[in-house]
Chain A
Amino acid sequence: MSKEELVILDCWVSPFCMGVKIALAEKGLEYEAREEDLFGGKSDLLLNSNPIYMKVPVLLHQAKPLCESTIIVNYIDETWPSPPLLPPCSYGRAQARFWADFIDKKLFDAGCNIWRSKGEAPEEAKREVIEILKQLEEALREKAFFGGDTFEFVDIITVPVTSWFHAIEKFGNFKVEDECPKFSAWMKRCMQRETVAKVLPNPEKVYEFLIMFRKMQGIE
């Protein structure tokens, strides 16, 4: 497949974009990543491809736009079935979708409540993040990955937000490893995969980005 067929409208720091890139890499697909300037001015292509939300990521496959990261990852899995990212049985797929939905709805926003607050991060915000991670530890149990022995759908949706953890830990003054060692071990396991290591940004860079973003928003 030629490179021109797949384009991702991207932002290096967006965990939602990272998920799509990891899925593409897992499938061995080549693509062009176009970095959007979300502060300077979104491209016409982005505004035309995603008129409802005007957000990244957008995946353009043969110029047809796809929006919303989890929907995009599902599409990638259905269009290029090998290797499969979702379990073969319907019940397993429902379970995977449930946890992906849980991550989508809860984890990123809970993390944001920590770095978005002025002054010291509220205890409640930290407790919420830890509670979510503990629930994920329950889902993980003794498995290497959420999918079992293989790195799959839920792992792909979850691992990107972990690139923000270093920043969240600094703003919140706590360590994920101390509170949720199992989850921390899963993170390290994922980072050993080339597809993840190549996509996730340097956590220190994410921290610098958030410092700058907080200044822009007037949060000191």
Chain B
Amino acid sequence: MADELVLLDFWPSPFGMRVRIALAEKGIKHEYREEDLRNKSALLLQMNPVHKKIPVLIHNGKPVCESLIQVQYIDEVWHDQAPLLPSDPYQRAIARFWADFVDKKIYELGRKIWTTKGEEQEAGKKEFIECLKLLEGELGDKPYFGGENLGYVDVVLVPFYSWFLAYEKCGNFSIEAECPKLIAWAKRCLQKESVSKSLPDQEKVYGFVLQLKKIFGIE
């Protein structure tokens, strides 16, 4: 039986982008379905009743939820093509640690930057840059977090690059000025088709953020 894969997603979601990249890296055919988050489909609610969130990966009718879990699942099932996690257990633990760090920090801090102002926003910006610098430290002189090739942490982090312009404009600062190494890394990732085809244009994301600010009445 041919594998049936459906991805329930939302174009600006960095979490959805992770799954898109993983599937593209491994050349896995799948059906992409755009969800309207103000009017979630019956399928989404049925497949992810606990969180009711995208992305949801449906493999032969069975749902897998939460992007880090989905990327690990894809890596295990299609383990022969473009492996994302290292084979050594200690290196895997390190990769999982940094992916978890990205999950704990980057989304919430980014959100703080575009939804707040004044002191709160300044605190958000400061911590955001500190986190990016820690990630630069982990990257070191390697071309990718995964070493010579795109790995798990690259897939988990690079989607947020599509939101950087929105953060910069809302926060009135330059990420490249503070973290040039990280920007260079992101641009290197974007040279890969799996990434460039999975990430939306930064201007498009900025437009989306401006719309959200209007809807939520954020100046």
Contacts from A to B (Cβ < 8 Å): 52, 61, 64, 66-68, 71-72, 74-75, 78-79, 90-91, 93-94, 97-98, 101-102, 135
Contacts and interface: CB of A to CB of B under 8 A. Distances in A.
28 contacts: A52-B101, A66-B90, A67-B97, A68-B100, A71-B93, A71-B96, A72-B93, A74-B93, A74-B96, A75-B93, A78-B92, A79-B89, A90-B73, A91-B62, A91-B64, A91-B73, A93-B73, A93-B76, A94-B64, A94-B69, A94-B73, A97-B72, A98-B66, A98-B69, A101-B66, A101-B69, A102-B50, A135-B50
Contacts of B101: 52
A135 B52 CA distance: 14
Chain B contact-residue range equals 20 to 34
A52 B104 CA distance: 12
Given A66-B97, A93-B76, A101-B69, 18 more contacts: A52-B134, A64-B90, A66-B90, A66-B93, A68-B96, A71-B93, A71-B97, A74-B96, A78-B89, A78-B92, A93-B73, A94-B69, A94-B73, A97-B66, A98-B65, A98-B69, A101-B66, A102-B50
Interface string B128-147: 00000010000000000000
Contacts of B97: 66-68, 71
Interface of chain B, main secondary structure: helix
B59 interface: yes
Contact of A90 (B66, B76, B92): B76
B89 A90 contact: no
Contacts of A101: 66, 68-69
Interface in B184-201: none
A61 B91 CA distance: 13
A97 B59 contact: no
B75 to A, nearest CB: 9
Contacts of A98: 64-66, 69
Nearest to A64: B90
The 5 A-B residue pairs with the shortest CB-CB distance in the complex, in nearest-first order: A78-B89, A75-B93, A90-B76, A94-B73, A97-B69
B2 interface: no
A174 B134 CA distance: 44
Interface in B69-114: 69-70, 72-73, 76-77, 89-90, 92-93, 96-97, 100-101
B96 A94 contact: no
A184 B68 CA distance: 30
Given A71-B100, A97-B72, A101-B69, A90 B93 contact: no
B79 to A, nearest CB: 9
A66 B97 CA distance: 8
A75 B69 contact: no
B59 to A, nearest CB: 7
Contacts of A93: 73, 76
Contacts of A66: 90, 93, 97
Contacts of B89: 75, 78-79
Given A67-B97, A94-B69, A75 B90 contact: yes
Contacts of A67: 97
Given A52-B101, A75-B89, A78-B92, A90 B69 contact: no
Contacts of A94: 64, 69-70, 72-73
Contacts of A135: 50
B59 A91 contact: yes
A67 B94 CA distance: 9
A48 to B, nearest CB: 15
Contacts of B70: 94
Contacts of A61: 90
A7 to B, nearest CB: 15
Nearest to B88: A78
Nearest to A104: B100
A72 B90 CA distance: 10
A67 B100 CA distance: 11
B106 to A, nearest CB: 14
Contacts of A64: 90
Interface string B9-46: 00000000000000000000000000000000000000
